[in-house]
Amino acid sequence: MFNIRCILGSSAKCWISLPVCRQQIRMCTVPHPVAALCQVTATPDKEANFSACKQLVEDAKEQGASMVFLPEGFDFIGSSREETLSLSESLAGDTVSRYTQLARKLEVWLSLGGFHERGPDWETDRRIYNSHIIINDKGDIVSVYRKSHLFDVELPEKGVSLKESGFTIPGPTLVSPVQTPIGKVGLGICYDLRFPELSVALQRHGAEILTYPSAFTVATGAAHWEVLLRARAIETQCFVLAAAQVGRHHKKRSSYGHALVVDPWGEVLGDCGGEKPGVMLVKIDLEKVSSTRRNMPVQQHRRDNGFYQSLEKT
């Protein structure tokens, strides 16, 4: 059995035990970097959100994590467009500053999975980016990815109605995978998960780990969350780490939870469940990436881009 430490809330602790093959047993007998995935319930209260996230980061560091992943909307989840815009900040604002100080103090890398960043023309258009920020253990911002695909979905039969583009600017480009203590990490955010072109592009540029910090709705999460994460892992032969929002944020919105770790073969290594905030720790064995790609060399079998576009010409 392979044990993943999962700390739920501020005190209760549990172990997730999963059957594994011999290769994964070897993961536990040699030192490998530890990643921590956080599951939180953000509200419009930014101070309370920071306090809760800070505690999870400190718990993760104490348990040996070298990189901690926070979900989309870690800073806050507003109850209206007006509240969301009023609570937003620039990268130079107080929220990001507090996290850079925390990373430097604890000497831990942070993935801040979806920050409400005021756009370049904020004073005139009052629009924001949904930004994924990577901070190193010196407290430096080393990468910022701005969400490419915006969640504009109407599912009346499921009670889902969100239009992210109403106040959010789509990011202009992907960013190169980031070399971190746990491996080379490719950045996405939530709805990006539904676009395999993004994950394949990141893999082609060297990603060993893909991360999709999210705030999936309950309806879409129950239907698609795990299968999409497993699909992205299988097709790229990467680890996939997905921190998540969970529970009720305010009277208008709830999130699915189930922060997940998937290995390059598509096996789910850990799941934080759909009830409570917490943090899950997992050892990252990059040999699993190498061996999976060596034994099934999918990327070598991929045809050039022109081949896949040829259908459009016929």
Annotation marks residue 72 as catalytic: yes
Judge residue 295's burial from the number of C-beta atoms within 10 Å of its C-beta, 0-12 exposed, 13-18 middle, 19 or more buried: exposed
* 304 assigned to some structural domain: no
Total domains present in the chain: 1
Model pLDDT for residues 274-310, shown as the tens digit of each residue: 999 999 999 999 999 999 999 999 999 999 888 888 8
Q: Is 154 a catalytic residue?
A: no
- pLDDT score at 142: 98
| Per-residue confidence (pLDDT) for residue 36, from 0 to 100 | 97
User: What is the rounded distance in angstroms from the CA atom of residue 7 to the CA atom of residue 40?
Assistant: 12
In the set 53, 190, 238, 272, the catalytic residue is: 190
Q: What is the DSSP string of 148-204?
A: SS--EEEEGGGTEEEEGGGTBPPPS-----EEETTEEEEE--GGGGG-HHHHHHHHH
The pLDDT assigned to 4 comes to 45
- Asked if the structure places residue 56 within a domain, the reply is yes
Choosing from 53, 61, 89, 147, the catalytic residue is 147
Q: Which of the residues in the chain have pLDDT under 50?
A: 1-5, 7-30
The range of the structural domain enclosing residue 102 comes to 2-299
* pLDDT tens readout for residues 249-260: 999 899 999 999
Question: Residue 176: inside a domain, yes or no?
Answer: yes
Domain assignment present for 310: no
Instruction: Tell me, yes or no, if 275 is annotated catalytic.
Output: no
CA 295/CA 292 separation, integer angstroms: 5
CATH of the domain at 130: 3.60.110.10
Output Rg (C-alpha) for the chain, integer angstroms. Answer: 19
